[in-house]
Structure 1
Amino acid sequence: MSASAPASAAGPTASAGPAEAAPAALEVRGLTVVHPPRGGRGPARAVDGVDLRLEQGEILALIGESGCGKSTLARALVGLTRPTSGEVLYRGTPLRYTGSALKAYRRHTQLVLQDPGGALNPRQTVFDAVAEGPRLHGLKEGLEERVRSALSRAGLRPPEDFLARYPHQLSGGQQQRVVIAGALALDPAVVVADEPVASLDASVRGEILQLVLRLRDELGLSALVVSHDLGLAWNIADRVAVMYLGRIVEVGTVEDVLLRPVHPYTRALLSVLPGPDRGRRPTVLTGEAPDPTAVPAGCRFHPRCPAWAALDGPGREAAGCTVRELPVLTADPGAGRQAACHLVDAAADTPAGGAGTAGAPGGAAQAPGAEDGRG
């Protein structure tokens, strides 16, 4: 794959049109997760009315600041967090929360955590760590071959060199590959990866990103990758969804969202990254960081929004950002690029009062293949 084009250029969803749309690999409709009051603070709307689709064979990056609800949404997608309202659908079938239904569902949808050291039991060998899932699902026949195959697909070759090792005998990258092998041992159709390379060195990050792309191409896996790293999204994703305070505020192809962002929040996130237009000033977000226990009225981003702050008094009032609630972005596969903002036209390349972002985020298009995950 060329290092100068995003992952979507060769992705299996690139040529699919709305008329050919199959049931999504994974979909959420109206998903809301409200955590109960705690420590004198009110209930926290961690996820607030999200509609989102992960297509079959697609890599979707979910991007946003810490505390925006990304990880809560990821846990809901794999059935670890039960939503307050809304539903999760696997290939068009709603998830049921009975013990047997959840067990069957988790064989198809696996979670990969960001800290491989914490995810692995230090007292388990690699063999036992990878075999744990198949054993829980009663897949005892051919277990050793299943484990060897999963390790090999995860890039730990020859697998027999790793079977008897313990986590402390592995590098960080090898530990993450063992975690991925544990997911692959169940032959899932969907992987939800929560910050899968956050704890790894730059060179190892590139190797893991290459692995995810290869697994998509060879096995037809669908993957939702949760990250705060826009450069990771550029290097690996077909589409990008940007999350702010429990809501998806912009969604579209990686080229649209990261090269031509329209939502002021997306533009602010991109403005701090190095790129060809290095002389530009980064957009500084003012106000308090997102607080899911105190969601503002109207547009939840308006207290920190540079576009709203730049308006004069009458312009602010006319925009209605403080009183008009924004609609939930649709998960319709034919909807294309969308942005939840009163001040932009989602079909335009740039929002009012600003220019588009030039070049790949963080200079990713100029990075060597082994580093950027595309080589």
Structure 2
Amino acid sequence: MKPRMKPRETALLSVSGLRVAFPGRRRGSPPVLAVDGVDLDIGAGEIVALVGESGCGKTTLARSLLGLVQPTSGSVAYAGAPLAYKGAALKAYRRRVQLVLQDPSGSLNPRHTVYDAVAEGLRIHGYDGDERAAVASALARAGLRPPERFFLRHPHELSGGQRQRVVIAGALVLEPELLVADEPVASLDASVRGEILALLLRLRDELGLAALVVTHDLGLAWNIADRVAVMYLGRVVETGPVEEVLSSPRHPYTRALLSVLPESPGEPVLLTGEPPDPALVPPGCRFHPRCPVLASPRTAVPGLADACRTRDLPVLPGRGRGAACHWARREPGMTGETPP
């Protein structure tokens, strides 16, 4: 198991009450809340995994943190300064916070050599140093050695793992402090995934690089993250240190996600009801239509069903242990629950 980082007292990136709404699907219909009141902190040198099903809002949240989508309300602060969504300030911010996409084949221009792909960021930001040395250093840090051997190659000449390393090198060349990695190993063979995850951990240890890793895979979160935030229908429903959340999950949704991992004991938990639709957010706890706790007579608690169906839950804190669940509030030491 990887060594865990100690918690940072001051957040490098801090998100507070973030909401992102898109126009309704039909004229006159209410807006779609893709992200609905998220608090999230990432410390320097810390890896945070953002986990959830497809459509839960995690990619929209990540794009907001990169300045690609302007939030409807709430705030994003980097090193204590509010994020600007235009102009020179945004360009400077994007040099410090870099994106690593899921599909390296789609991220790389097939006509560009590896050298040009990695040097592109330097040219956009007007780098005035030794470009060749910077590109070589970034490729070497990404595990492509000797780097000069890859300069004139094109993406189709590389393996999937090598292409993803080129994408990572393109982010590293600007010497960022934070990576936002959206499903960074989803398109890779199982044999290569471990190598890329090990690379991200090495970069954290050697460079103090922080990362937000967006994934649907709690197993990946266990292998790489210091903290995990589980997202459902636009909100973070459970958060905390990865060992605590994944070894002792409090929210029924987290338990259901964990139950389908190959190494999980017992039978998988099958969620009832329809998959989440951000245009049709239910009243009360947004997970209650699919909640296995409510569906089972063995876990029936007097008054629980009424609370789940009618009482909304507050936003979880950006750091610390929390579960936005009426049922989980009975557990000691929990935060973010509605008072009895």
After TM superposition, the score normalised by the length of structure 2 is: 0.93
Structure 1 position 323 matched with structure 2 position 307: no
Which one of the candidate residues 313, 318, 328 is aligned to 1:344? 328
Which one of the candidate residues 283, 294, 297 is aligned to 2:280? 294
* Corresponding position of 1:178: 166
Does the Cα contact within 8 Å between 1:240 and 1:253 map onto a contact in 2?
yes
Which whole-Å deviations, capped at 9, do the CAs of 1:194-231 have from their partners, x for residues lacking one?
00000000111000000000000000000000000111
Measure how far apart 1:91 and its partner are.
Answer: 1.1
Q: 1:230 to 1:253 in 2, by over 3 A?
A: same
Measure how far apart 1:54 and its partner are.
Answer: 0.6
Which whole-Å deviations, capped at 9, do the CAs of 1:12-38 have from their partners, x for residues lacking one?
325x5xxxx12x111110100011123
Query: What are the ranges of 5 or more consecutive residues in structure 2 without an aligned counterpart?
Result: 335-340
Which is worse superposed, 304-313 or 225-234? Answer: 304-313
* Corresponding position of 1:235: 223
Secondary structure, counterpart of 2:106 in structure 1: helix
Alpha-carbon distance in 2 for matches of 1:285, 1:177: 37
Alpha-carbon distance in 2 for matches of 1:124, 1:256: 45
Alpha-carbon distance in 2 for matches of 1:164, 1:344: 56
Structure 1 position 163 matched with structure 2 position 151: yes
Q: What does residue range 272-287 of structure 1 map to in structure 2 within 5 Å? A: 272-275=260-263, 277=265, 280-287=266-273
Alpha-carbon distance in 2 for matches of 1:198, 1:39: 33
* Corresponding position of 1:63: 51
Secondary structure, counterpart of 2:49 in structure 1: strand
* Corresponding position of 1:124: 112
Alpha-carbon distance in 1 for matches of 2:101, 2:13: 18
Alpha-carbon distance in 1 for matches of 2:73, 2:330: 28
- Counterpart code for 1:129: A
Alpha-carbon distance in 1 for matches of 2:175, 2:330: 38
Q: What does residue range 1-375 of structure 1 map to in structure 2 within 5 Å? A: 5=1, 7=2, 10-13=3-6, 21-22=9-10, 24-38=11-25, 42-275=30-263, 277=265, 280-311=266-297, 315-316=302-303, 319-331=306-318, 333=319, 336-345=320-329, 347-348=331-332
Alpha-carbon distance in 1 for matches of 2:294, 2:12: 37
Q: 1:313 to 1:207 in 2, by over 3 A?
A: closer
Alpha-carbon distance in 2 for matches of 1:316, 1:194: 40
Alpha-carbon distance in 1 for matches of 2:303, 2:296: 9
Alpha-carbon distance in 2 for matches of 1:348, 1:313: 19
Measure how far apart 1:42 and its partner are.
Answer: 4.3
Which whole-Å deviations, capped at 9, do the CAs of 1:320-364 have from their partners, x for residues lacking one?
111101000011x4xx211000011375599xxxxxxxxxxxxxx
Alpha-carbon distance in 2 for matches of 1:178, 1:286: 42
* Corresponding position of 1:361: none
Q: 1:316 to 1:303 in 2, by over 3 A?
A: farther
Does the Cα contact within 8 Å between 2:304 and 2:327 map onto a contact in 1?
no
Does the Cα contact within 8 Å between 2:222 and 2:242 map onto a contact in 1?
yes
Which whole-Å deviations, capped at 9, do the CAs of 1:136-192 have from their partners, x for residues lacking one?
000032111110000000000000010101111111000000000000010000000
Measure how far apart 1:313 and its partner are.
Answer: 8.7
Q: 1:137 to 1:276 in 2, by over 3 A?
A: closer
Secondary structure, counterpart of 1:31 in structure 2: strand
Secondary structure, counterpart of 1:27 in structure 2: strand
> How many pairs are equivalent?
332
Higher normalized contact order (CA 8 Å, seq sep 6+, divided by chain length): 1
- Counterpart code for 1:258: L
Q: Which runs of 4+ in 1 moved over 6 A?
A: none
Q: 1:91 to 1:324 in 2, by over 3 A?
A: same
Among all aligned residue pairs of Structure 1 and Structure 2, give the percentage whose two residues are the same amino acid: 64
Alpha-carbon distance in 2 for matches of 1:165, 1:292: 43
Which is worse superposed, 304-313 or 147-156? Answer: 304-313
Which is worse superposed, 341-350 or 104-113? Answer: 341-350
Does the Cα contact within 8 Å between 1:13 and 1:55 map onto a contact in 2?
no
After TM superposition, the score normalised by the length of structure 1 is: 0.85
- Counterpart code for 1:300: R
